Structure 1
Amino acid sequence: MADESNTGPVAAAEAVAETQAPAGKRKSSSRRQRTAAGQVAESKTTAKPKRYSETERADKLNLIEAEVAQGNSTLKDAIKSAGISEQTYYVWKKSAKPADRKPEESVVAGDDLADLIQLDKENLRLRNLLSDKLRAENAELRKRLGLD
């Protein structure tokens, strides 16, 4: 109990530390709010990127390819005149290629299936030929050995 009634310099320092700690937390939280408000203001100033449909993308890609094929401009200039970035052009071009290849792959798959069926028929024919040959050979050996 003697310690509780002690109002010396140690107790006074602890009381000061307790009162300063919550004030420090308030300041840091208000800084966070200011930072968050600043970030919100920055995000409102950025423009929303334009989204193109698949047909618009294909039209722009065809326009760029036509300009380059005619020799009117370089690829870089044609991309700029279309109003897109080089990175966007290459991303669109890459995504357009798998769509173009799908019909070819299905035709190839059909050819592969026909080849597989033909190989299966040939395999069956060769198996029958081999089994007939082995039967004839076995019959001949039995005659020679007198087992038949």
Structure 2
Amino acid sequence: MADENNVEPMTVVAGTDPKAKATTDKKKRSPRRQKMPVEPVRAATEAVAADTRTPRAKSYGADERVAKLALINTQVSKGISTLKDAVKSAGISEQTYYNWKRATNPVEQTDPKPVPAGDELADLVQLEQENLRLRKVLAEKLRAENADLRKRLGLS
């Protein structure tokens, strides 16, 4: 029970001791946890990366390549299996097969057009003139046929 002689308002009484109120209202927080060190995380990702790496491609010698290509060709030519199946049974990919095949049989590059000599040049000019004359004859025949068809259909 309150003292009857105390006439001061309650706010003044409560405001006189601010430290007492502040400590009772605040909750104490636990200290923050420290961040995880970076090194253990790296080690874990390196271990995962090491497991997910693909195995290193096997390299074949020239003799092995020729033998595998010959095996594939014989299987396909005899009709034993399709090219896809023969390549798979040889243990290589289709792309590897085509790369090896291209490497063993290189395509020879030829000149696009050999330059004609003096006498050949005259023959070439004569052939071009005959070609031009034949084109004109063909064009005239097609025009005549086209006009005849238009007359029959009544378009002109």
Q: If the length of structure 1 is used for normalisation, what is the TM-score?
A: 0.44
Q: TM-score, normalised by structure 2?
A: 0.43
User: Which structure would you say has the larger Rg?
Assistant: 2
Higher RCO, Cα 8 Å, sep 6+: 1
Higher helix share: 1
